[in-house]
Amino acid sequence: AGPPFQLSIGRLLLAPLVLVQAQAAPYAGEDAFLQAGDVAEGQGFRMRRARVGFAGTLAGFVPFAISGELAGGADASARLSEAWIGYAHFPFAHLYFGAHDVPFSRSAMTGAGEGALIERPLAVRAMAPFRQVGLHVEGHFHDRAFSYFAGMFNGFQRSDQFFAGYVENAASLGNRFDNVAYVARLATEPLGPMPRSIQDLAVSRPRLGAGASYFFSDGGTRDIHGVGADVLLHAAGAHALVELLWNQSDPERAPTQPTGQLAPVTSLGLVGEVGYFVRRIKLGVSARFEWLDPNLDLSDETDGWALTAGASYHFIDNVLKAQADFTHRQEAHGVALENDAVALQLQLNL
């Protein structure tokens, strides 16, 4: 499905990009921390996203988009979200250049307002590179029965905290410390193109999407290999998602930036999600289980699993919806932390 609102001016087609996600946390455990991937640190309200911009197409085959995140940091400072230009004249080779999604993880490539639950999986937020500056080419054949993606980006920077994931660097000063990263993805949708949402809001006939991805980041501080695989199934309002992520990070002998990592680290994450959407009453219910081990060679409180259950009421599809989630996290080793949370969210997504 395309944008809900569009403006046509000659050969220029424009659509607004607006994403407002206002959250409330009725409950958060005393050990919950945003840096550990939790949705909140205490009772109260949060402006999760306030994104604005526009997307469009020029002459039918030059897509572009630019948007900014107005609530991008702890001080609500504005930052660039995306800015890219494409050339999509031939279905077998679309070129995209600028700050845009890295074609690696299905959940990361899916828009922040298109998920079945309030937040993307914890494993994805920690182990997928999301938006970076670079270029990639992609091609689609036989109505997306086969697709490929291949790209080159600035090298990926990891945050100091594992659960904070990769830094989304707008590279306004260029690529100063991190060399380059290479990405490849193969995907198939053999039963017809998948919609852009995780939920089956169309209550469609069976559709299947699957993909496998790899990246190598030749960074100045650390070299990182990443492998991913994912499957998404839609059928008659039901959806099922499985995603596997694997990262290996090797520190450089002479790092270009300060780092506390002294030895190779291998991380593994597994996500499984199911849900059902009742179109007649505009209500969806979903549940997600994930296992995450940030360091396979170390057993501590960071190893564990999380279970999230939620409901969503769709006033207008994913354009205007209200959501409620409960997340329980369980540490596999060490001290059990009180980091369960309840989150509510109202979303406007244009």
Q: Tell me, what amino acid is at 339? A: N
| 230 DSSP β-pair partners | 211, 243
pTM of the model: 0.92
Residue 98 tokens read as 């600028």
Strands (E), 156-303: 180-188, 207-218, 222-235, 238-251, 265-278, 283-293
Which neighbouring-strand residues pair with 305? Answer: 291, 330
Which residues, other chains included, contact 280 with Cβ-Cβ below 8 Å and sequence gap of 6+?
A: none
Would you give the end-to-end CA distance of the chain in angstroms? 12
How many CB atoms sit inside 10 A of residue 87's CB?
Answer: 14
Question: Buried b vs exposed e over 209-224: b needs ≥16 C-beta within 10 Å?
Answer: bbbebbbbbebbbbbb
The half-sphere exposure of 288 on its side-chain side, counting CA atoms within 13 A, is 29
What is the Cα–Cα distance from 114 to 200, expressed in whole angstroms? Answer: 11
Residue 228 · residue 104 · CB < 8 Å: yes
Cβ 268 vs Cβ 293: under 8 Å: yes
279: Cβ contacts below 8 Å, ≥ 6 apart: 201, 203, 237
One digit per residue, the tens of pLDDT, for the chain of length 350 reads 455 678 888 899 999 999 999 999 999 999 999 999 999 999 999 999 999 999 999 999 999 999 999 987 666 678 899 999 999 999 899 999 999 999 999 999 999 999 999 999 999 999 999 999 999 999 999 999 999 999 999 999 888 889 999 998 888 778 877 789 999 999 999 999 999 999 999 998 999 999 999 999 998 788 999 999 999 999 999 999 999 999 999 988 877 777 777 789 999 999 999 999 999 999 999 999 999 999 999 888 889 999 999 999 999 999 999 999 999 999 999 889 999 999 999 999 99
Q: Rounded to whole angstroms, how far apart are CA atoms 120 and 318?
A: 15
For the domain 7-349, what is the CATH code? 2.40.160.10
Q: Would the CA dihedral through 289, 34, 212, 85 be positive or negative?
A: positive
Going by the DSSP 8-state scheme, the letter that residue 107 receives in this structure is: H
Question: Tokens 């970076």 belong to which residue?
Answer: 132
